[in-house]
Amino acid sequence: MAGRFELRRTSNDQFRFNLVAANGEIILTSETYVHRQGAENGIESVRNNARHDQRFERKVAVDGSPYFVLKAGNGEIIGNSEMYSSHSAMEHGIASVQHNAPAAPLHDLTV
C-alpha cells in the first residue's frame, strides 16, 4: 500500500489535508484552507515541491525536538511535520514525504 493524501473538513467548515504514509502515520499536515480548491491546490504543491530537498526547512522546536516544514518555491509554507525524537528520525520523515507525495492519491473524507 502506498501513501495517500486525506482531505478533511474541519470543525469550522474549512479544509485541511494530511499526507499519510503506507504504515498509517501522518507525515505532513497542511494549513487550514477556507475553500476546498485551495486545499486541492496545496496537495498539488506538495506533490511538486516534495521532489526538491531544498524546499524542506529543518527546524528545532523550543523543547529541542526536530521537525520540518515544506515550502513552495515562493517561500510559503505548504505543510508541517510532527515533532521527532531525533534528527535522523526527522530525515526519515522527509524521505518518506519525498517518496510518498509525488504519486499519492487523494482520499476525500469530506463527505
- CA geometry: angle at 103 spanning 54 and 65, to 5°? 45
| pLDDT one-digit tens code per residue, 25-59 | 999 999 999 999 999 999 999 999 999 999 999 99
Report the run of H or E that residue 79 belongs to, with start and end. strand 77-80
| pLDDT one-digit tens code per residue, 50-106 | 999 999 999 999 999 999 999 999 999 999 999 999 999 999 999 999 999 999 999
Report the run of H or E that residue 39 belongs to, with start and end. helix 36-49
**Structural domains of the chain, with CATH:** 4-108 (2.30.29.80)
Sequential DSSP letters for 46-99: HHHHTT-GGGEEEEE-TTS-EEEEEE-TTS-EEEE----SSHHHHHHHHHHHHH
